[in-house]
Amino acid sequence: MTEADSDHADVALAAAGDHDAFERLYRRHVARVTSLARWMLDAGEADDAVQEVFIRVWQKLHTFAGQSAFGTWLHRVAVNLFLRRRQALGLARKRHTADEEPLLSIAGPVDRPDLRVAIERAVDLLPRGAREVFVLHDMEGYKHEEIAQMLEVDAGTSRSQLHRARLLLRQQLAT
Amino acid sequence: MSDQFTQQLSAYLDGELAAPARARLDAHLSGCAECPALLADLRAIVAAAPHYPGRAPERDLWQGIEARLEGAVVVPIARNSPRAAQPSGRRFGWTQLIAASLVMTAVGGGAAWLALRHAPQPPGLVALPPAEVKTVAFADARYDAAVRDLEQVLAAGRGKLDTATVRTVEESLRKIDTAIAEARAAIQRDPSNAYLSRQIAANMRRKLNLLRVAANAIAART
């Protein structure tokens, strides 16, 4: 059984009130949701926000129609919730004005076997604005226009931050 | 390497460059010693990025989550209303379904259908007016009709679900039916037992939710 099949079966059970099935969903997905929370919120907020995500998902399970993968749906719920928390905490705008340090010379290459793990760690080191756009665009699949709306920047800023993030990641991965 | 072209590599990679600019960059790439390597690296990063493994929280959050689950049960809220009329061609009774999926709170020999507050609606469901409380018998005809409709949907569409899911759903339904039957038998002997009433109500709700999720999954594959 694939992870998607397991998710599907456990969603059905959890929607019927089965805590064990929901715990299995939690265990399969908590690591990625936690990373997402750490990238989008201050570190001290992450655990509480992750708990809130899973409570919210439990409440909304009956609305999951299975048209996308459960993980995709879960991450959409998480991103929306993190954005609301950011707004409440006043984090939304300042992150996009405080990270204009110059881009260092580009290094490369990034050919390495543990690239997925290495990228995840390197993302931690990105300036906040570049990190958020990279996470939303390249990791979570949002479009620039969506990101612009979510982060209250224009789409051009989102594009330039993305390019900057990719170059910085390449630099970090090559060192 | 040229800054002019370097700045365009992400847009190139994302398919966002207009045709003339793309052609110019293609021409540059064929003659540049460094840009192709940079492009390959960026492509590798973009390809790997969605597959990040994630890092578990430093402490297990599950207990804190589980402790809040029971208090967090939310189901779609509705009441019977002319506004909840179904679009033609819908295969089963959403209005009945939604009405029947309200939280049930046991009250003596019946159940209160407690409408709490607006909850996000599944795609395709009609918008519903504010909630209200209704008292109905356990053998409420709307509940029975909703379950019957959904069981028909499940029977007709089970081939659209993978066998493991069908097996899980059917086993769960059997367990829930058994629990309902046992609690009903017990309450015949002890009609004022509020615990048994709550168990029956909770299991009826579980059955309906489970059927609805299965029906949604079938509809998504139709």
pLDDT tens sequence for chain A (175 residues): 788 888 988 998 898 888 999 999 999 999 999 999 999 998 788 999 999 999 999 999 888 877 789 999 999 999 999 999 988 877 655 555 445 554 444 455 566 778 899 999 999 999 999 999 999 999 999 999 999 999 999 999 999 999 999 999 999 888 7
Largest CA distance in chain B: 89
Give me the residue label for tokens 């990270």.
Answer: A99
Nearest to B210 among A12, A30, A139 (CB): A12
B146 or A51, greater pLDDT: A51
* pLDDT computed for residue B219 by the predictor: 77
Percentage of chain B exceeding pLDDT 70: 67
Q: Which of B46, B64, B219 sits opposite A65 (nearest CB)?
A: B219
Summarize chain B as % helix, strand, coil (round to 5).
Answer: 60, 5, 35
Residues of A with CB below 8 A from B41's CB?
108-111, 170, 173-174
Which strands form B110-114's sheet, in the order they lie side by side? B103-107, B110-114, B133-137
Q: Is A31 on the interface with B (CB under 8 A)?
A: yes
Question: Chain A residue closest to B50 (CA)?
Answer: A139
The verdict on A54 touching B (C-beta cutoff 8 Å) is yes
Instruction: Tell me the nearest-neighbour CA distance from B94 into chain A, angstroms.
Output: 13
Within a 10 A sphere around the Cβ of B84, how many other Cβ atoms?
A: 18
Asked if A138 lies within 8 A of B68 by C-beta distance, the reply is no
In the A/B pair of chains, how many CB contacts fall below 8 A? 188
Higher-pLDDT residue of B46 and A67 is B46
Rg (CA), chain A: 17
Contact (CB<8Å) A58/B69:
yes
Report the chain B residue with the minimal C-alpha distance to residue A47: B57
pLDDT at B194 over 80: no
At B112 the pLDDT is 27
Whole-angstrom distance, CA of residue B20 vs CA of residue B16: 12
Is the confidence at residue B25, as pLDDT, over 80? yes
The whole-number pLDDT of residue A64 equals 86
Determine whether the interchain pair A106/B38 forms a contact, defined as Cβ–Cβ distance below 8 Å: yes
The per-residue pLDDT for B76 is 36
Task: Provide, as residue numbers in chain A, all residues whose Cβ is less than 8 Å from the Cβ of B12.
Answer: none
Mean pLDDT of B193-218: 77
- Residue B137 DSSP SS3: strand
Asked if B107 and B99 count as a contact pair (C-beta separation under 8 A), the reply is: no
Q: Do A108 and B37 touch (CB under 8 A)?
A: yes
* Residue A155 at interface with chain B, using a CB cutoff of 8 Å: no
- CA torsion A49-A52-A54-A55 (nearest 10°) is 170
CA gap A67, A74 in Å, rounded: 12
Q: What tokens were used for A105?
A: 């010379």
Q: Do B76 and A65 touch (CB under 8 A)?
A: no
In chain A, residues with a C-beta closer than 8 Å to the C-beta of B124 are: 65
Q: pLDDT tens digits, residue range B105-145?
A: 222 223 322 222 233 333 333 333 333 333 334 456 777 87
What's the sign of the alpha-carbon dihedral B54, B58, B62, B67? negative
Which residues are B103's β-sheet partners?
A: B114
Nearest alpha-carbon partner for B45 in A135, A42, A138: A138
> Touching check for A107 and chain B: CB below 8 Å?
no
Q: What is the ipTM of this complex?
A: 0.87
Q: Does position B98 have pLDDT exceeding 70, yes or no?
A: no
Between B219 and A134, the higher pLDDT residue: A134
Nearest to A65 among B9, B76, B216 (CB): B216
Distances from the Cα of B197 to the Cαs of B110, B144, B159, B201, B217, in angstroms?
8, 17, 35, 6, 30
Whole-number pLDDT of residue B103: 30
Phi, psi of B89 (to 5 degrees): 90, -10
Residue A119 near chain B (CB below 8 Å): yes
Q: Which two tokens stand for residue B33?
A: 């010693």
pLDDT band at B4 (very low <50, low <70, confident <90, very high): confident
The pLDDT, as a whole number, for residue A111 is 65
Output B112-115 pairs: Cβ under 8 A, ≥24 positions apart: B115/B77, B115/B78, B115/B79
Strand partners, B112: B105, B135
From the list B42, B57, B176, the residue facing A166 with the nearest CB is B42
| Predicted structure pTM score | 0.63
Q: Mark yes or no for CB contact A111/B44 under 8 Å.
A: yes
- Quickly tell me which residue has 């072209």 as its tokens: B5
